[in-house]
Amino acid sequence: MLYCVNNGNNNGGAVKREQTTWDMPFYDRMQLNLERKEAIAREAVLLLEEGDSVFIDGNTSGLVLSRYIPVDKNLTIVTNSSLVTLNLIQKKGKIKVYMVGGEVDEDGMTFGYKLHCELRQYRFDKAIFSCMGFGPEGIAEPDSYACNGRRYSARSS
């Protein structure tokens, strides 16, 4: 487990933590705490305003959230997930959807240098993402790519 940290110069970094059991397949993680993810999603969509530019991360919580995005709002949504993208484009509402690039992992999410470069070009009204954990040290993630992607999306919002 890695903690994204702010090292004082806003460049951040990662600190290794103990091993966890969060190496579950995506669809197994999707079912884990599903009712809580849905409750969070229902609350999160209430924060979306007409004309917002929103980053939605491709984790399981982001995928659940994409099911609740209202089609009647004029929103621009940027994501790093093929699954979130598919959920949103099938709604056929006022939503504009952009998928940022990079290497694609087994969960259908992009990551890496290309993703980070693209995220730096955006300015979001809101960035919605979850993490494996958080604490005084920062955001906990299983790898540095996830840490960096969340850091860039948070900075851009």
pLDDT surpasses 70 at 68: yes
Q: Please give the average per-residue pLDDT across 118-143, as a whole number.
A: 77
Q: Is 17 left (phi over 0), alpha (psi -120 to 50) or beta?
A: beta
pLDDT surpasses 50 at 88: yes
Q: Please give the average per-residue pLDDT across 90-113, as a whole number.
A: 92
d(CA 104, CA 9) in angstroms, rounded, equals 30
Q: Which residues contact 90 (CB under 8 A, 6 or more apart)?
A: none
Who has greater pLDDT, 113 or 21? 113
pLDDT surpasses 70 at 148: no
Who has greater pLDDT, 87 or 2? 87
Q: 18 falls in which pLDDT band (50, 70, 90)?
A: low
Who has greater pLDDT, 14 or 95? 95
Q: Quickly list H helices, the chain.
A: 26-31, 34-45, 60-68, 82-89, 113-119, 144-155
Q: What is the pLDDT of residue 149?
A: 56
Q: 7 falls in which pLDDT band (50, 70, 90)?
A: very low
**Encoded amino acid at 57, one letter:** D
